[in-house]
Amino acid sequence: MQTPPGRRPGRPRSRRADDAILSAALDLLGERGNIAEVSIEAIAARAGVGKATIYRRWPGKEELLVDAVATLRPPLPDLDEGSMRGDLVLLLEQVCAEMDGKLQRAINALLVSRAHPEIGARIKHAVLAPRREALYQVLRRGAETGELRPGADPEAVLNLLMGGALLHRRSAGGGSPRACAELLVDTLLAGIAAPRPA
Amino acid sequence: MQTPPGRRPGRPRSRRADDAILSAALDLLGERGNIAEVSIEAIAARAGVGKATIYRRWPGKEELLVDAVATLRPPLPDLDEGSMRGDLVLLLEQVCAEMDGKLQRAINALLVSRAHPEIGARIKHAVLAPRREALYQVLRRGAETGELRPGADPEAVLNLLMGGALLHRRSAGGGSPRACAELLVDTLLAGIAAPRPA
Amino acid sequence: MQTPPGRRPGRPRSRRADDAILSAALDLLGERGNIAEVSIEAIAARAGVGKATIYRRWPGKEELLVDAVATLRPPLPDLDEGSMRGDLVLLLEQVCAEMDGKLQRAINALLVSRAHPEIGARIKHAVLAPRREALYQVLRRGAETGELRPGADPEAVLNLLMGGALLHRRSAGGGSPRACAELLVDTLLAGIAAPRPA
Amino acid sequence: MQTPPGRRPGRPRSRRADDAILSAALDLLGERGNIAEVSIEAIAARAGVGKATIYRRWPGKEELLVDAVATLRPPLPDLDEGSMRGDLVLLLEQVCAEMDGKLQRAINALLVSRAHPEIGARIKHAVLAPRREALYQVLRRGAETGELRPGADPEAVLNLLMGGALLHRRSAGGGSPRACAELLVDTLLAGIAAPRPA
DNA sequence: ACGTAAGCGAGACGGTACGTCGAGTCTTGGT
DNA sequence: ACCAAGACTCGACGTACCGTCTCGCTTACGT
């Protein structure tokens, strides 16, 4: 959103309009599930707002939707299960669960659908980043407690897990989020190299 | 594409039109990089073809683009490097490399941006499937040679690797595709659990 | 209207659309009476036509309205009353009568309201010209029969009469069109110079 | 303009704003030449004034423009040439000359383009009336001096002359204003009826 | 001198219409 | 039955103004 810096002359922008627009956008994104089928006109109508009021704040549809999605920030689960594995499973389970549902599909679409690459970055920052950060914490704690193998690159681990969740949830189809998460975490924990015959 | 079943009366459809349409579609997808900015009208114009000729073959823009993308099928690298690790790195390196470039970004967009879920499935089948299959072969061979730990679920391994590549390439930014692939493969091979103090 | 010259490839323009648009435009012009309150959108809606179909034919609202008005061409009264004065009165009476009524006010507005001067010219040609021509005929016949003073410039006479009708009808307000026409014609016939004391 | 009646509490309205608004309005009317292309926003911007300051004074665009035009009141030529014909020609010449120029065309547009008939009346009163009054004076003096034929209706004469000028200047195109005025005046003076063969 | 009430520039507000673009369909004459 | 061309209806786009409504700030009067 284009936030005017500091106090400016003229009537200030309406907070109520902000809220109405963002929540109308989310409503419609959830209903239609497809970014292309959510029109600015529909958002304006549902928010009870003129189109100009939207264009005064955002340059286009995508930017608006990104901001709308960013307001979601679903709460992360409470961690501290005692073990690194437990926490990893818990987080990944939520990521898997979030893959279902229309709104989430729309968000995924926003993640990659961009001409202007900065948009993907913004939503990544707003939505993905908190999850990555939580995973990162867990890994760091695992390193402290000795549960994480020294030498494992946390960044790589993180991406393997989240990317794995992203794809596995789609390709392997059914199954509970829990089972999916456990399979991925355990596979990664154990590694896939055959143990050297000692 | 809607292929007319069997022989039919009247003038047969022009193969030249097929080709012109598909390659015009790919051109534009590469130029614009964004599915929303590629219009059927532009495709028809560039292909020197009437719009009806397109709609006679495909029901809509997305289906056409999916088919166009499916014609790409970039060749997979020759494998058989002698070791499972070598082959995995080789394949993943190519996946990483393909993440760059406008066309590929557009393809990625197509992968998730869908209202109608079947489209995602089709393109997945056409583009992703060959890579998955190749990875799958490598894993199977690894199982035979004993390089792959027994008990590792190939499906999970596959998704961890490809998903990891997808995300790591974006989040970790720079670096050669080769280095990226090696890091991911080695991390997964070794696992992340600290070795039990035997 | 932008008439495509000769036969052209592609689907020809719909005559039904032409008619629907023009008559919808006239309807609305009559109802609203003010060019500014007739919107292209309303015309398109009433004609059951897309906006693009209008813009394909006319560059803007004014041009469309001009063409619409031009289709009116209300029939001129039958003349040949036997005398030049009678015919002049008859014609001027109709001009006076036409000054009343919403549609006519709208037409008058079009006559002068132009940024692009060609528009005024077009409507003048389409609507005013026939009346001028009829008056001109009467004057010419008057010259032949000797009823018109030799040396009177027909062009000047014509403008005096029609302009007089235009203004008198407005300024002098009430009165029947007939009376108005007779007053003007008789005043002009007799002249306003005092007769020279022979 | 809506003048607040009598003294009122609070800050009095700014005279400078009045002036700035009216002159900005005239500027733009002259530049654009078309009432529809002069926007209140543009007037406010050019006058360095808030829109509310305009709407506090006038109910709408048309009323403002009418008032703006009314401030013009171009000076009438000095008369008393000695003869009625001379004075008529002098006045009509000015009317003809005023027909040229963008501003004048815009004013003419205002004269007839009205939904609300009172607007036309107001501008008529402000701009046309002085000219009509001057003509009227000349005719009255002509009646006294015997130059004007007794029985000629001054109202009709007036409208014939001014309306004639209005139309003739447009239809007959070129020529000096002087020549145009003389032709019309002389035609009307002499009448158009053939002299009765005494 | 000071409060109060209206005016001020600025600009956001809900709307309406603009003129353009593209979607997917239909209609020509010609292959 | 196909083809290129292009018109068709429809709906969204992003812009421009409309007339109204806050904002924080003068500016003049009446106390």
**3-class SS at B174?**
coil
Q: Encode pLDDT of B4-41 as tens digits.
A: 666 667 778 889 999 999 999 999 988 887 778 899 99
Tell me B193's DSSP state: B
**Beta-carbon-side half-sphere exposure of residue A103 (alpha carbons within 13 Å):** 18
- Between B71 and C101, the more confident residue is B71
Structure-token pair, residue B78: 């020759």
A114, pLDDT greater than 80: no
List, for residues D13-59, the tens digit of each pLDDT value: 999 999 999 999 999 988 887 778 899 999 999 999 999 999 999 99
Write out pLDDT tens, residues A52-64: 999 999 999 888 9
How far in angstroms lies nucleotide F29's C1' from the CA of residue D48? Answer: 27
Helix axes C129-145, C154-171, angle to 10 degrees: 120
Q: How far is CA C126 from CA B2, C1, C79, C111, in A?
A: 54, 13, 21, 11
How many other β-carbons are positioned within 10 Å of the β-carbon of residue A66?
A: 26
Confidence of residue A4 (pLDDT cuts 50, 70, 90): low
Question: B169 near B99, Cβ under 8 Å?
Answer: yes
pLDDT digits (tens, 9 = 90+) for C154-176: 999 999 999 898 888 877 766 88
Q: Phi and psi (nearest 5°) for D139?
A: -65, -40
Rounded-to-integer distance, Cα D191 and Cα D174, Å: 24
Name the average pLDDT for chain D.
Answer: 84
CA distance C196 to chain D (A): 10
Q: What is the CA radius of gyration of chain A?
A: 20
Q: Looking at beta carbons, which residues of chain A come within 8 Å of B115?
A: 32-34, 36-37
Strand E contact with C51 (CB < 7 A) = yes
User: How many CB atoms are located within 10 Å of the residue D129 CB?
Assistant: 13
| A37-52 residue pLDDT tens | 899 999 999 999 999 9
Range 45-104, chain A: CB under 7 Å to any strand F atom: 50-52, 55, 60-61
Q: Which range, B151-165, C127-141, D3-17, D43-57, is most confident?
A: D43-57
Please list every residue in chain A whose beta carbon sits closer than 8 Å to the beta carbon of residue B152. Answer: 187, 190, 192
Domains and CATH numbers, chain A: 15-70 (1.10.10.60), 73-190 (1.10.357.10)
Backbone angles phi, psi at D188, to 5 degrees: -70, -35
Amino acid identity for residue C106 in this structure: A
Say whether pLDDT at B185 is over 90: yes
Residue A115: per-residue pLDDT: 44
The answer to whether some atom of strand E lies closer than 7 Å to the beta carbon of D11 is: yes
Most confident of A44-48, D110-114, D189-193: A44-48
Nearest to A191 by CA among B193, B86, B182, B158: B193
Distance C17 CA to E19 C1' (A): 19
Instruction: Indicate yes or no: strand E within 7 A of the C-beta of A140.
Output: no
D7/F29 CA-to-C1' distance in Å: 10
Nucleotides of E under 7 A from a protein CB: 4-29, 31
What per-residue confidence (pLDDT) applies to D39?
A: 95
Closest CB to A115 among B34, B124, B168: B34
Residue C118 has a pLDDT of: 54
The answer to whether the beta carbons of residues A22 and A58 sit under 8 Å apart is no
Model pLDDT, residue C106: 63
Q: Which residue of D has its CA nearest to C144?
A: D194
Of the pLDDT bands very low, low, confident and very high (cuts 50, 70, 90), residue D113 is: low
